Amino acid sequence: MVESFTALAVETRGLCKRYGELRALDGLDLRIATGSFYGLLGPNGAGKSTTLGLLTGLLRPSQGEIRLYGRALDPDDPAFKLLMGVVPEDPPLFERLTGFEQLLFTGRMFGLGREVAGARAADLLRLLRLEGAAGALTVDYSRGMRKKLSIGCALIHAPRLLFLDEPFENVDAISADTIRRLLLALTGSGATVLLTTHILEVAQKVCRRVGIIHRGKLVQEIDIADLTHSGRELDVAFRAAVGEERAEEIPAWLSGGPHA
């Protein structure tokens, strides 16, 4: 598939996903510019993972339209898969492969030659601090190691569109910084990154723009540069957007105050 010269990498119109009477997504209109580092934020159950599932073709919409680089998404067209890198919240890995074999296999599946795939696998293992576990079976990897390996698999073919669900969860601080730099390098080359995260500090640090989703709807979009310029914190804007401006009061018996 040849990318069209559109300014939008991702566009959804009236996107809905229903499970019986439950509306996981309710008319989502999303526009993400090419080369963006975009964060999708929201409370648990807001529809973030559902959105990523629809955008990557793992789920089918009940209603609405998805366009990637100006073309209507066809989940059965392999060309769209070649365009994407995907990191789900719980990475599905082949547990009887070693870390190196997993990366090599993924690279080969994306059409890379054996030598190129092997060289890229070695680079990614080094960058993600998994060199020492390259020969270990992934079944023996910790959750953080599995997440890092999944990120490596998503990056090995240098995708133009990267979808990540909670990429920094269970990842150590040094590796998280490396991942952040890898993602920034990717967007610097013109690729587009869309991530979900519960960690607002991370979103404010790495994203250029964020969308806040609540009860299946996009309720607000924020330019991080504008937010920083105004001196506001993302958590304050987030609370206001989802109608939780006042933090819950901590009971006295937990806060060290006088017992009731």
What local confidence, expressed as pLDDT, does residue 1 receive? 43
Give the per-residue pLDDT at 149: 96
Which pLDDT value is given to residue 98?
98
Q: What is the pLDDT along the chain (260 residues), one digit of tens a residue?
A: 444 445 899 999 999 999 988 889 999 999 999 999 999 999 888 899 999 999 999 999 999 999 999 999 999 999 999 999 999 888 889 999 999 999 999 999 999 999 999 999 999 999 999 999 999 999 999 999 999 999 999 999 999 999 999 888 888 888 888 888 889 888 989 999 999 988 888 888 889 999 999 999 999 999 999 998 888 889 888 888 888 766 677 888 887 766 55
Total residues belonging to the chain: 260
Q: Name all domains of the chain by residue range, CATH numbers in brackets.
A: 8-88+159-245 (3.40.50.300)
What does the pLDDT read at residue 3? 45
pLDDT of residue 245: 63
Amino acid 256: pLDDT: 72
Spatial distance between the Cα atoms of 34 and 193, rounded to a whole number of angstroms: 9
**Positive or negative torsion for Cα 237, 238, 239, 241:** positive
Quote the pLDDT of residue 258. 60
Paired strand residues for 32: 10
pLDDT of residue 2: 41
φ and ψ at 235, to 5 degrees? -65, -30
Q: Which residues partner with 193 through β-bridges? A: 37, 162
**By 3-state DSSP, what share of the chain in percent is helix, strand and coil, each rounded to 5?**
40, 25, 35
* Ranges assigned E (strand) in 159-256: 161-165, 192-196, 209-214, 217-223
